[in-house]
Structure 1
Amino acid sequence: MNKRLFIDVHAIQTVPPSCVNRDDTGSPKTATYGGVRRARVSSQSWKKAIRTSFQNNFDEKGLGIRTKKITELVADEIRKIDPNASDAMGMAVKVISAAGIKLEADSKKKDEDAIPETKALFFISAKQAENLARLACSDTYGKKEVQAALNSEHGIDIALFGRMVADDPSLNADASAQVAHAISTHKVDNEYDYFTAVDDRSPEDNAGAGMIGTVEFNSSTLYRYATVAIHDLFNQLSEDAEATSNAVGEFIRAFVSSMPTGKQNTFANRTVPNAVLVCIREDQPVNLVGAFETPIMPDQNSGGYVKKSIDALERYEHEVCSSFVPEPIISWHVGEGLNSFGDALDLKSMIERLEDYVRGKL
């Protein structure tokens, strides 16, 4: 595919009182933008939720596994190929080391039980682990062959989110997708939930609590944004048009429908977006967070932030496209508002149209 093609997805989403994504102190993550504190959900957190969602709709052989224990993965594949392999772990260590990946024993285990691991998490597809196992069983390979096996047949999530290998940058995989940190369209102040827990076996005349504590939380209306470079994804997926269109459709579905799991049992914070805008562009991706540099104030009639946030997004997109970049080739929207952008569709229909369009372009 020679032509550049990008798909931008923007979402306005209300999140009830919750602690979706916490920092090292247990507090909800925040960011200062436009001079005020905003609620924030990190891109890493939402990408993990998207990857988890993929597991419901893709065969595991088409996905990646992020782990330090790649020797165990390859050894398991060796045993499937050759059930009589007497030293599958040793064969796995040898083939992985041949790629230039440094391994070290797990320091938490006794020497005799230690299994060599990578120093950092390594993103490997199930198919790549199988291909390494086949090379290990053939015992006729060198660095070139092993690295070629690791640089082909990337899982869909590796193709989308990339892979960084400090030991040997030639094993890196460029990300086809970018996911922004979600931030609230308005100012937030964190609040505290003081809770107590009663010991069920305490005497009836004991009025004291078995445990007390506090949980910090906030509520927000978030602006979320992600983009996928279709031309890059197509190359990463071995120029397979069907796989690329399916990956794009599932990425959009997962981006819209997923939710990070922080404190989910405590707050039951599963929501879906109020409005989603999907734009196809041939020039460049465009993040519309500038619509909220001036914090949204509550609507005087409803008291909420959603309608004013959607209006601000719509207005800002038209301003950007009238001054800096062309209008998108095609736009679709789902949910409330955004009526000036293409057809209003339900999520399922929008994804079907998107997949058909991508398939036709490839």
Structure 2
Amino acid sequence: MTNFIDFHILQNVPPSCVNRDDSGSPKTATFGGQRRARVSSQCWKRETRQVFGDFLNQEDLGYRTNRIVDLLAEQIVAQNPDLEPESAKLAVDVFKALGIKLKASRAKKDAEEEVGNDVSTYLVFLSSLQLRQLAEYAVEKAANEEKPKKREIERLLNRNHSVDLALFGRMVADDASVNVDASCQVAHAISTHSVENEFDFFTAVDDVKSQDEAETDAGAGMMGTVEFNSSTLYRYATINLDMLRENLGSDDATVRAVDAFAQAFVKSMPTGKQNTFANRTLPEAIYVSVRDDQPVSLVGAFENAITSREGTGFVTPSVSRLVKEAADIEDAYGVKPLAQFTCGVGDSREQLRQIQEPVAFPQLVSDLDNLVTELLAKGE
């Protein structure tokens, strides 16, 4: 039996532009025939990974980069400083043996003299421990004057996954045998109501010029526009607990991963235009359900866009819709979560009591950790 952990979050975001499209406009989507504010899943996963460092050591994390030669060369030198002159070549030999395509770095292309090591043609996700083990392997092969072997490298990359790698997966186009299936899925966050993007026209005044009495040009030093919107977002993510355990290979590591994800996903905020809008907020309502049937998003609660009524705003009706959708799905399909946890601010607390008595967020995470520990123990 597979267990899933669903995270449902309602969060107010004031005027902001946290996630832009290629034209600089805040991302949007059409849902229920209405234009909604949107923050892409890629964007929020990136910010979640950035916050992981607050809860985990670097040993538990990895690097997603195309500068894999640089990283491995540094590890090789750290283990054997005498190999520094040939460290980059040894790193290249390892990745070429695996079949990963490399190309000259931009710095090397632009410089008259050779500068910088080769880079991979796409981003590669490697855990800190995998990098160290690849370095040990390269040092050993150099000492024995042997060439790296593809099968041996694949074995090194199919164990000791980092938490972020185990959650979000890895795809290596040149060697599918070292791919890692993501145990976590993150939805695009969308507003529970319709939005219309607005424009902020701004000017910047030249401090020195404005103080010059002889200056006749009183115009601004620069001017421009920034597009923005504000919204109450519904955010959803789910973790396949059994797949996460398989990826990490340890019950303790799995509990740490769930704990870190819960805290980082809830507390993270994309940083686009943050200095302009100071839009950092925390969720108004959090609902976590642990299921043994399948992941269930409650986004259907907002297919009919919420309209603001005087004195209510969007949060209160959004929480009400979320609670009702959870109950309706349970009644219609006869399925009930194994456990439910809630946390809310203000009036949301009273509404969430219809699901489960709200607790402070640290207590929610602690209770979730305890349940995950019990489920993993039963699965042994």
User: What TM-score does the superposition give when structure 2 sets the normalisation length?
Assistant: 0.92
Alignment of 1:105-124 (within 5 A): 105-109=104-108, 110=111, 112-124=114-126
Q: Which residue of 2 aligns with 1:64?
A: 62
Report whether the alignment pairs 1:152 with 2:162: no
Partner Cα distance (1:107, 1:180) in 2: 34
Q: Equivalent of 1:244, from 229, 254, 260? A: 254
Q: Deviations over 1:134-165 (max 9, x none)?
A: 11011154111101111211110010001111
Q: Which of 313, 316, 320 is the aligned partner of 1:311?
A: 320
- Decide whether the 8 Å contact of 1:41 with 1:181 is kept in 2: yes
Kindly state the Cα deviation for residue 325 of structure 1 after the two structures are TM-superposed. Answer: 5.2
Paired position in structure 1 for 2:171: 164
For 1:108-130, what per-residue CA distance to the aligned partner results, in whole angstroms no more than 9, with x for missing partners?
42362241110001111111111
Alignment partner of 2:135 out of 125, 133, 136: 133
Q: 2:40 maps to which residue?
A: 42
The answer for the alignment partner of 1:267 in structure 2 is: 277
Deviation at 1:321, TM superposition (A): 1.3
Q: How many residues align?
A: 358
Q: Tell me if structure 1 keeps the 8 A contact 2:16–2:273.
A: yes
Contact persistence 2:193–2:307 (CA under 8 A) = yes
Of the three residues 333, 337, 353, the one matched with 1:328 is 337
Structure 1 residue aligned with 2:367? 353
Identity %: 48
Whole-angstrom CA distance in 1 between matches of 2:54 and 2:265:
14
Query: In 2, are the aligned partners of 1:299 and 1:308 still within 8 Å (CA)?
Result: no
Deviations 1:222-274 (A, max 9, x none): 00000000000001001x11110111011011111110000001000000010
Q: Is the 8 A contact 1:106 1:116 kept in 2?
A: yes
**Distance (whole Å) between structure 1 residues aligned to residue 290 and residue 116 of structure 2:** 50
The DSSP-based 3-state class of the residue aligned with 1:345 is: coil
AA aligned opposite 2:246 = N
Aligned-partner residue type, residue 167 of structure 2 = L
Once the two structures are TM-superposed, the CA of residue 276 in structure 1 deviates from its matched residue by 0.3
Could you tell me whether the CA contact under 8 Å between 2:191 and 2:234 is conserved in 1? yes
Contact 1:331 1:343 in 2 (8 A): no
Are 2:241 and 1:227 equivalent residues in the alignment? Answer: no
Tell me by how many angstroms 1:342 deviates: 2.2
Stretches of structure 2 lacking an aligned partner (at least 5 in a row): none
C-alpha separation between the residues in 1 aligned to 2:75 and 2:28? Answer: 43
Q: Deviation per CA, 1:57-114: give whole Å up to 9, x if none.
A: 2111211111101011111110111011131111111112111211111144236224
Deviation track 1:164-183 (CA, whole Å, cap 9, x = no partner) reads 11111112110000000000
**Map of 2:95 onto structure 1:** 96
Deviates more, 1:324-333 or 1:221-230: 324-333
Whole-angstrom distance in 1 between the partners of 2:30 and 2:176: 34
Partner residue of 1:257 out of 267, 283, 300: 267
**1:289 Cα deviation after fit:** 0.3
CA distance in 2, matches of 1:104, 1:212: 41
Taking the aligned partners of 2:248 and 2:37, their CA distance within structure 1 comes to 35
Query: Which amino acid in 2 is paired with 1:20?
Result: V
Deviation at 1:299, TM superposition (A): 2.8
User: Closer, same or farther in 2 for the Cα pair 1:32/1:108, shift >3 Å?
Assistant: same
| CA displacement at 1:280 relative to structure 2 | 0.4
State the distance in 2 between where 1:13 and 1:319 align. Answer: 22
Please identify which structure carries the higher helix content: 2
Q: Is the 8 A contact 2:107 2:115 kept in 1?
A: no
List structure 1 segments (4+ residues) > 4 angstroms apart after TM superposition. none
Quote the residue 1:212 is aligned against.
Answer: 223
Out of 285, 288, 296, the position equivalent to 1:286 is 296
SS of the aligned residue for 1:319 comes to helix
Report Cα offsets for 1:304-334 as digits up to 9, x if no partner.
0000000001111111111125111110100
Matches within 5 A, 1:18-57: 18-57=16-55
| Distance in structure 2 (CA, Å) of the matches to 1:62 and 1:218 | 37
Q: Is the 8 A contact 1:16 1:220 kept in 2?
A: yes
Q: What SS does structure 2 have at the residue aligned with 1:217?
A: strand
CA distance in 1, matches of 2:102, 2:197: 43
C-alpha displacement at 1:303, in angstroms? 4.2
- Partner residue of 1:77? 75
Which of residues 3, 6, 10 in structure 1 aligns to 2:8? Answer: 10
User: Do the aligned residues in 2 keep the contact of 1:223 with 1:289 (CA within 8 Å)?
Assistant: yes
In structure 2, give the amino acid aligned to 1:356.
N
| CA RMSD between the two structures | 1.2
Residue type of the alignment partner of 1:53: V
**Range moving further from structure 2, 93-102 or 310-319:** 93-102
Per the TM alignment, residue 55 of structure 1 is displaced from its structure 2 partner at its CA by: 1.2
